[in-house]
Amino acid sequence: ELTILQNLGYCHKDFHSGNILLNKHQTSYVSDFGLAGPADKQNSNDKIYGVLPYIAPEVLNGELYTFASDIYSFGVIMAELSTGNPPFYDRKHDVSLSLDICNGLRPEFGKGTPEFYKKLAYRCMNADPNQRPTSKELWDVKIQPIPSTVLKLPGLIPYDLGPKTRF
């Protein structure tokens, strides 16, 4: 869904695990587009918003939200899925954490997380937004199945879209 959003020229700007819904078939949906907006219609007076651990370091440094900022958030979500815990759940979400993120602090991964998965997540969380993969590149990645003992989903909200309705 990030690819669709970005193809429309929009940044989500508040992408975190609480904005991912999961139906009974384990299909995920991105939600809460309240802060989403056109990538080309921002100004430097825009405030920083979102959930701190998911905010890209360049945004914390005062730069504008970009497609790459959403990709950074995706990488943080990948780390969260491997641990079953929100990123930096054991720290205050304050200026100190912001500075640490800007200085390269990234979430940890759970024991047994495959290397290819960590490498992809670290690419997403690269300090240089130009080095992050695009949403299309992520879509095209053929991720090998990850054992359920490694991948944890407690941060995702089970959500049943219910039967399809015809209008």
Which residues are catalytically annotated?
A: 14
* End-to-end alpha carbon distance in the chain: 24
Burial (Cβ within 10 Å: 0-12, 13-18, ≥19) of residue 101: buried
Instruction: Give yes or no for a contact between 39 and 9, defined as CB atoms under 8 angstroms apart.
Output: yes
Pairing of strands 28-30, 157-158: unpaired
Helix (H, G, I), strand (E, B) or coil at 77: helix
